[in-house]
DNA sequence: ATGGGCATGTAACGAGTTACATGATTTT
DNA sequence: AAAATCATGTAACTCGTTACATGCCCAT
């Protein structure tokens, strides 16, 4: 597939394309493998795509001329491919960042879903789901703190998001704990768990 | 397609099937249209499926004998279809609720994503994205409060989730406000926005 | 020498979306 | 009379996932 000619209207790419493009907008030359690792760090506030998807997006971006590829031949296995964002890619990314309307977040919260259908479950099941979730959320918090430490002062905006994430998980922990407490009360005496503070 | 015979291992259905099944597990006979409206209330913590998806799931569930259908003939348009959960459906739902491992939540937060790539955007753009988000989050809070009022005391578990949701949005509002403040500081003087309290 | 990280890829699949079509009934 | 709501459905599409395959290089 030949690259698109310059000067045409910005192709509207799937969200994941822009994620990859954004990761490359920091200016570094990266492999698909590298990109996957970076994308993993988005998991705290944006789901990270499957490995195979990254490679698909890179091929797509390349077909649009938004990234360029440098191959290093390997013996007895596929070439190693390094990707770098092109000026056109940077322009497309900026246009997306500035012009594209920002959709509200979507959340898929299986724990809350189980709780919603609590009338069909034994209370211990709900308690255990909540407890596991608490554990997971606490782990996320420490992971985020580690990430922030690794990021250092070089990436102020990612750091801002990571800080947001820390607050997010702290709130989730508080809410889950409040729910666990509320679950101990018999349903009719159950008080609305208020937002603390 | 003929319904599956009883006694076989629980078919593993997509998540949305269980959402529909769960909605029917309250015992009421509902139309696809009704279900869609109910499913909308899940949007606060679980994305709600497209309308066409609900109908697809209902056909799927029926083909597995997990719901039964009652049709009311209409003149000059498709039959009106009422659905009710079957004992097999209730069993399948309970099995899912009790046995299926509970996955951690996934979040897709376009606002945070934009902020992450803030190095390519003008500060006003980031501020305006955050401000719109704040407005949206506040609207969610009032919507949730209305929902809780409408739910009354009949649905204790959904109410518990709604209370969780209120805390969630309150936290998001606080975090977005903190980020907005942090954005006003020059990057080098920028303090980590701490969790208040 | 065994396992884990690096690194790229293919194939099959399906869930879910968007857009469209139709038309009755109720509300304004 | 118009608009919103009720109500069901089809068709085309694609994003994204899971599972698999290959093989190098490095550490223990």
Shortest alpha-carbon distance between residue A111 and chain B (Å): 6
Which CATH class for the A15-99 domain? mainly alpha
Considering only CB atoms, B125 lies closest to which of A98, A163, A196, namely A98
A152/B90: higher pLDDT = B90
Strand partners, A85: A67
Chosen from A14, A20, A97 to mutate, greatest number of chain B CBs within 10 A: A97
Size of interface A-B (CB pairs under 8 A): 224
Confidence at A87, pLDDT banded by 50, 70, 90? very high
- A2-20 pLDDT, tens digit each: 454 444 556 689 999 999 9
- Check residue B9 and give its pLDDT: 56
Render each residue's pLDDT in chain B as its tens digit; 197 residues.
444 444 455 668 999 999 999 999 999 999 999 999 999 999 999 999 999 999 999 999 999 999 999 999 998 889 999 999 999 999 999 999 999 999 999 999 999 999 999 999 999 999 999 999 999 999 999 999 999 999 889 999 999 999 999 999 999 999 999 999 999 886 665 655 554 43
How is residue A134 annotated by DSSP? H
Query: Three-state SS for A191?
Result: coil
- Check residue B75 and give its pLDDT: 86
| A46·B109 Cβ contact <8 A | yes
| B125·A97 Cβ contact <8 A | yes
Measure the CA angle with vertex B76, ends B78 and B17; round to 5°: 10
Residues with Cβ within 8 Å of residue B18, at least 6 apart in sequence: B93, B96
Shortest alpha-carbon distance between residue B18 and chain A (Å): 10
**Spacing of C-alpha A7 from chain mean position:** 31
Domain ranges of chain A: 15-99, 110-189
- Check residue B196 and give its pLDDT: 46
pLDDT at A167 over 60: yes
pLDDT at A193 over 90: no
pLDDT at A36 over 60: yes
- Check residue A181 and give its pLDDT: 96
Distance set, CA A74 to CA A26, A31, A82 (Å): 27, 14, 13
Chosen from B47, B106, B124, B176 to mutate, greatest number of chain A CBs within 10 A: B106
Confidence at A196, pLDDT banded by 50, 70, 90? very low
- Check residue B2 and give its pLDDT: 44
Token pair in block for residue A170:
């702290």
- A174-190 pLDDT, tens digit each: 999 999 999 988 666 56
Nucleotide at minimal C1' distance from the A54 CA: D16
């Amino acid at each position: 597939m030949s690259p698109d000619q310059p000067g045409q209207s910005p192709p509207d790419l799937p969200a994941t394309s822009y994620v990859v493009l954004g990761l490359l907008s920091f200016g570094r030359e990266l492999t698909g493998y590298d990109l996957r690792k970076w994308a993993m760090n988005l998991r705290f506030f944006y789901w990270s795509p499957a490995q195979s998807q990254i490679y698909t997006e890179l091929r797509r971006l390349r077909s649009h001329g938004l990234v360029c590829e440098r191959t290093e031949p390997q013996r007895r296995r596929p070439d190693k491919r390094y990707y770098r964002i092109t000026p056109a890619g940077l322009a497309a990314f900026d246009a997306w960042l500035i012009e594209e309307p920002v959709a509200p977040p979507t959340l898929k919260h299986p724990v809350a879903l189980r709780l919603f259908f609590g009338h069909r479950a034994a209370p211990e099941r709900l308690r255990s789901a909540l407890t596991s979730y608490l554990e997971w959320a606490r782990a996320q918090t420490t992971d985020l703190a580690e990430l922030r430490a690794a990021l250092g002062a070089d990436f102020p905006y990612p750091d801002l998001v990571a800080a947001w994430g820390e607050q997010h998980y702290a709130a989730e922990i508080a809410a889950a704990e409040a729910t666990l407490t509320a679950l101990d009360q018999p349903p009719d005496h159950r008080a609305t768990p208020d937002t603390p503070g």
